[in-house]
A and B are shown apart, each in its own frame.
Chain A
Amino acid sequence: MTDTLDKAPASVPPEQIKAIPVRHYGRWVAGALVIAILVLIGIAFSNANINYSIIPDYLTDKTILSGAWHTLYISVLAMVLGLVLGVILAVMRMSSNPVTSTVAWFYVWFFRGTPVLVQLLLWYNISLVFPILNLGFYKDEMNQVMTPFLAALLGLGLNEAAYMSEIVRAGIQSVDEGQTEASHALGMTQGQTLRRVILPQAMRVIVPPTGNEYINMLKTSSLAYAVQFNELIKRATDVSSTSLAVVEMYFVASIWYLILTSVFSVGQYYLERRYARGSSRNLPPTPLQRLRRNLRAFGSFRRPEVAR
């Protein structure tokens, strides 16, 4: 039996199948329909009373650029604050200590349950509650301390922490219990286990929704407009009050939001790859690899390659 297998000639390649592929007429119809609808929408927008020609000029306007920069850094800082606080809250929530877990539950309940706009305004007007900030070593009027920047950071960051804590908690709970047991059996403490074993594995579950949260944060940061923070929407509004091109300026702002979210979507791919280490034998493709593969597939879409 094995002898015949060994001696079987391997030089004759099998005849490859050459079949006429199934025709997908539905795809052509759907494609035509989509193009028609897009053309109609395009015509409607181009006939609207909007001065498109000024949009490219204002994209690189100094005021708009500074607004985009403010949006970028407030959303990054608020996200970092939310992430750090979110991890702490998630750990508190899962702690066996009833005080810490109740505090964490209450925090999430409150900050998730009230509008972020109200929270921003409350921080901005915190001097109504604490007129003077006294930290012992530092004392000042609250109105001096609570700048638009600080109000935006606290309002957005503390709100984000409530959402992040639930994402982190889901991530931690997704890690197999055997991992904790193995770490404990090796003599690692609770903290070492969390830091070295659980969180790195939880990241695989945490990163995709966190990317989602960050993109959300980029746009939610526009609410900081209400506390006089000079982010993109506030700057766009400032410009429109002088240029009298209101809708055009919001288009300019939207283009910047699209650019920022696109850049971060690409970054997210690489982050996901980083944390996929060890969880699968093959890493997912990078956006560049995906693009190349799609282009290659597009080039041969008429006659699909015969499977090798």
Chain B
Amino acid sequence: MTDLVKDMAKSAGGHPMVRAEGVHKSFGLAHILKGIDLEVNPREVFCLIGPSGSGKSTFLRCINHLEKISAGRLWVDGDLVGYRQKGDKLYELKEKEVAAQRRDIGMVFQRFNLFPHMTALENVMEAPVQVKRESKAVARERAQRLLDRVGLGDRKGHYPAQLSGGQQQRVAIARALAMEPKLMLFDEPTSALDPELVGEVLDVMRDLAESGMTMIVVTHEMGFAREVGDSLVFMDGGVVVEAGHPREVLTNPQHERTKSFLSKVL
């Protein structure tokens, strides 16, 4: 994606898709996120890399309020995540309002988390029918189209246990897309896969990026980050150590910590 397109997209919406200001997160005594500031623009593919325990997955989960942030502010498409601000007071959103916010944010998990008691097609149909109250016929048609798009149109009647890991993850991507999200979060989507199955999932993600989806990808696939990513952030110890264009950061890291991490994974 060219910078021109990015600028156009940004000027059209007027605000970034995701904005984080001083985001902190603690689990009891463990201080996981220690002040994250970043912006993700519409139509951007934003890659988060870093060692395990650096807080990148936690940050991703904060974006759709699966985790509550302890301090700071987090906006998605201009709306505060999980709270409503009136004057200088913050009000927690009700469960229904949080659910409504999540509708527009798709998420893909490391361990797929498909619904095992439903077929691939039913998995993809479930949220539109239940959450959007869409008719089954409409949902089924879209589900079929999405399964075709991820190359699994002929597997629609299979249960997750009858699919390979790569196929399950592709169904999971189709399931998230069925809600027609404006933002997709990927939490190490290929880490639980056999090496030879990684490619098919990355192909689907690359195709999605080309269609203009805003994506935040926590990944260990440096090749994907370099080829598809528009921005890259290296996190360690709960802070952003280095940020920039993927090619620059990956080939010419500035910080010692980034250098030592990349020397081990590249």
Contact = CB atoms under 8 A, between A and B. Distances in A.
B225 to A, nearest CB: 23
B179 interface: yes
B44 interface: no
Interface centre among A189, A200, A201 (most CB of B within 10 A): A189
Q: Give the contact-size bracket for chain A.
A: 20 to 34
A61 interface: no
B191 interface: no
Interface residues of B, number: 32
Contact of A179 (B64, B115, B131, B176): B115
A184 B102 contact: yes
Nearest to B104: A187
Contacts of B117: 200-201, 275, 277-279
Interface stretch (B12-20, B135-143, B156-164, B252-260): B156-164
Interface stretch (A159-167, A190-198, A252-260): A190-198
A185 B130 contact: no
A294 interface: no
Given A278-B159, A281-B161, A187 B99 contact: yes
Contacts of A188: 99, 127, 130-131
Nearest to B105: A185
A203 to B, nearest CB: 9
B73 to A, nearest CB: 21
Contacts of B114: 182
A95 to B, nearest CB: 12
B86 interface: no
Q: Which 3 A-B pairs have the closest CB atoms?
A: A187-B103, A182-B113, A186-B127
Interface of B: 64, 66, 95-96, 99-100, 102-103, 105-107, 109, 111, 113-119, 126-127, 130-131, 159-162, 172, 175-176, 179
